[in-house]
Amino acid sequence: MRNARTKHILESIILIVALVWIGLYLLAGEKTELEKATPSAPVNVVPVPAATSSVDLPAPTTKTPPVQPIVKDTVTLAMGETAVLSGISITPSEVIEDSRCPLGVMCIQAGRVRLRAILNIGSETGSPIFLVGEPVLTDNGTVTLIGVDPIKRRDVEIGNSDYHFTFKVTDEHMVYLNAATSTVVVATPQPGAVVGKTFTVKGQAWGNWFFEGSFPVVLRDQMDTVISTGIAKADTDWMKDAFVPFTAKIVAPNTYSGPATLVLKKDNPSGLPANDASVAWLVHVEY
């Protein structure tokens, strides 16, 4: 009786194990079929477009940067060399001062280069002194020294033959420094006008150009030497944020005749260069 019961239990266990094994086998088969039917995770493949003609290509979205204006009348000269730009003959002749701070040295001031150059326009000759960035007016336009090479270095002496100077000529006949027609307007004399030994300057300037109702005026010869000074006085109340008419009387030396640069200077009681402003143009002192 006991053996029969034991045999029955064993048969039951074997049957259960067989059923479990069959079930697992069938389940594994279903999973395999499911994997075959289900695609794997998609791969990010960028399709290669079919070749198209250039007409079908989209326009580029990046904007082309604006073309910078090309300065045509520019020349670099060694000492003693001559070039003619816009009818102006330019010849560097003498370095009067080179107080530039050497490269790598801490200086209180940046220093400057003062260059004398010979300008010839037709039969007229002048020898103005150039500073970098400061224009010199002529009948044929404005000449500006825009660069000096080489860079100054400590313990390296620069000889006259080592210098190279870059000049730019433009067709400007009235040069504004920290100013514009929105702050000062000249009525008379106009650029290139012929004036007498004594003449009057008239125009309008913004109220902040005046201090105590006036601002200075200077007249320079072709050598950049001041030959006359004057005072532009407000014709009306100057303490306002608006244009104020002015009048200035200039008296040139009786011995002087020829081109001269007339300069109106904003009154700058602070003395700070950052507050300087001016407008300059060429006149001809004749009679």
- pLDDT, residue 73, reads 82
The C-alpha angle with vertex 76 and arms to 71 and 82, in degrees rounded to 5, equals 115
- Per-residue pLDDT of the chain (287 residues), as tens digits, is 555 566 666 666 676 766 666 666 665 555 444 444 444 444 343 343 444 433 343 344 333 333 333 345 899 999 999 999 888 999 999 999 999 999 989 999 889 999 999 999 888 888 999 999 888 888 888 899 999 999 999 889 999 999 999 999 988 788 898 999 899 999 999 888 899 999 999 999 999 999 999 999 999 998 889 999 999 999 999 999 999 999 999 999 999 998 899 999 999 999 898 899 999 999 999 87
Question: If you search the block for the tokens 């040295």, which residue do you land on?
Answer: 105
123-149 tens-digit pLDDT: 888 899 999 988 888 888 889 999 999
Range 176-285 has CATH code 3.30.1360.120: no
Listed by start position, the domains of the chain span 74-172, 176-285
Residue 259 near residue 222 (C-beta atoms within 8 A) = yes
User: Is pTM, for the whole model, over 0.85?
Assistant: no
Rounded CA gap, 148 and 60, in Å? Answer: 42
Non-local CB neighbours of 65 within 8 Å, separated by 6+ positions: none
Residue 18 and residue 25: Cα distance in Å, rounded?
Answer: 10
d(CA 198, CA 144): 29
- Helix, strand and coil percent figures for the chain, each rounded to 5: 15, 40, 40
